[in-house]
Chain A
Amino acid sequence: MSEHVRGAIAEVVRREWSTVVASLVGDLGDLGLAEDAVQEAAEAALRSWPRDGVPDRPGAWITTVARRRAIDRLRRESTRRSKTEQLARLEERLGATDLGGGAEDGETLLRDDQLRLLFACCHPSLHVEAQIALTLRSMAGLTTREIAHAFLVPEATMAQRLVRAKRKIADALVPFEIPPDQQLLQRLASVRHVVYLVFNEGYDATAGDELIRHELCGEAIRLGSLLAELVSDDAETLGLGALMLLTHARRLARSDRQGEVVLLADQDRSRWDRRMIERGTELLDRAVRLGRPGPFQIQAAIAALHADASHADETDWAGIADLYQELTRISPSPVVRLNRAVATAMADGPSAGLELLDDDDLAERLALYSYFHSARADLLDRAGFPEAARDAYQRAVGLLTPGPQRRLLERKAAKLGHRA
């Protein structure tokens, strides 16, 4: 079989993965068994589709085969009472054969199956790293190897993490349910957190295959829309969706042909995805109209102000500095305070920014964060303190591994050295 055909089939399988897994978990109530069965069905697809052609409804094909595999497995182990119940349910579903494609009820069913699976993957009884890994495996259909690669851990470590998490879900009976109303808001917050981490993993990662990273962002956006459909009146959920769209819209302008990072100020803004910006802005407007501001909405609003400027010089820095001030008030993390200082410097001059950075507590907490030192260096340079700027650049350089980012800062420090 040609690599091309194999790749195309793998792509179809990945697209259908979460739907099929979610549907089987609905039948079985067992994530481990469901994934094993779907994995076997996917391998069967790789064997038979090149010969027989890709079926009209690949998702239905994989689901049927996976159900049969699960039945085979359960028959072999059916001395356990609970397995017999699972078996009866599966056989009934297999008899009905309808995946629910087309009909509106079917669509809702599919969506709810996926949400149930997502809430189980992001259950607060699991470690957050396990939540992310499970979400990538079950919802995004990434292989264990791809997830290990994205997190820079050995494949065996990631495999073990996934196995442990699935065992806990099974042993402790973590429910595959959309939480009841009184728990929903709290549970939504942890799902949003995981979805945003998945997005950042795709967006910020300094290593990993570019294709997979774009896919992570795309998947996070898809999960965000799934949540937004469930709670269309939850402002922060809409805010998260808006933030991801407005950020991902810049993806094509973020690196040059050599793969070097292009900073926001230097990006070719004609390469920004205008349609995605429109969708993000729409979502943000809907969120803001609900009148319940929160960190995701504020960050989305900042991204929207960047998107509004057709040239870096036209950026509304005063507006951005105000938004950061608001963000500092409700979620005062050191990195947010740093970003606020940088925005304030752009709006009111370098001294105003430096004043906000002149804080022992902040300096201590960001001491190992290279961007803190390089941002401070830039402000010191612009404020007319070249020697202090050079020292700060050198501190930033010392915190970075060799690469384009470090080379850039070394050049800046060297330039100041000559001037001093």
Chain B
Amino acid sequence: MKYACLIYSTESDPAANPEPGSEAWGPIMEGYQRFGAEAEAAGVMITGEPLHPTSSATSVQVRNGETITTDGPFAETKEQLGGFYLLECENLDQALEWAAKIPHAASGTIEVRPVPDFSEL
């Protein structure tokens, strides 16, 4: 089954999310490279991407045929979505095990969501 691992963390916390290119940034990137290589080698990696911070987000809603565009993310939360992986795992236990290895699991929260397969319906 496919699982989305949504990576949430506090954007404003410099320890968890240092400036790109800064000294603290290096080790976190290395952590992600290691994770990617390991998941690739185990055959569970489908894809994964980081996201720009929520300050770059635009929310779109269509109501009565009219498109409403607003600055910022849909929901103001304590932790923000900063990236995701799509993994192919045997079951939830395996997905949770991989989620725990994502570097931001140590400072933020990884939300694991199964991806439904509508082709079977």
Contact = CB atoms under 8 A, between A and B. Distances in A.
A179 B93 contact: yes
B114 A172 contact: yes
B91 A175 contact: yes
B105 interface: no
A177 interface: yes
B3 to A, nearest CB: 8
B116 A171 contact: yes
B46 interface: no
A173 B120 contact: no
B37 interface: no
Interface in A26-83: 80-82
A90 B45 CA distance: 33
B92 A173 contact: yes
Interface string A80-94: 111000000000000
A183 interface: yes
Contacts of B114: 171-173
B92 A175 contact: yes
Contacts of A183: 93
A363 interface: no
B1 interface: yes
A174 B93 CA distance: 7
Contacts of A177: 91, 93
Contact of A80 (B93, B96, B120): B120
Interface string A113-143: 0000000000101000000000000000000
B121 interface: yes
A321 B99 CA distance: 44
A174 B112 CA distance: 12
Contacts of A175: 90-93
Given A172-B114, A173-B1, A173-B114, A80 B92 contact: no
Interface in B65-116: 90-93, 96, 112, 114, 116
Contacts of A125: 92, 96
A174 B120 contact: no
Contacts of B92: 123, 125, 172-175
Contacts of B90: 173, 175
Interface of B: 1, 90-93, 96, 112, 114, 116, 120-121
12 contacts: A80-B120, A81-B120, A123-B92, A125-B92, A171-B114, A171-B116, A172-B112, A173-B114, A175-B93, A177-B93, A179-B93, A183-B93
Given A171-B116, A174-B92, 18 more contacts: A80-B120, A80-B121, A81-B120, A82-B120, A123-B92, A125-B92, A125-B96, A171-B114, A172-B92, A172-B112, A172-B114, A173-B114, A174-B91, A174-B93, A175-B92, A177-B91, A179-B93, A183-B93
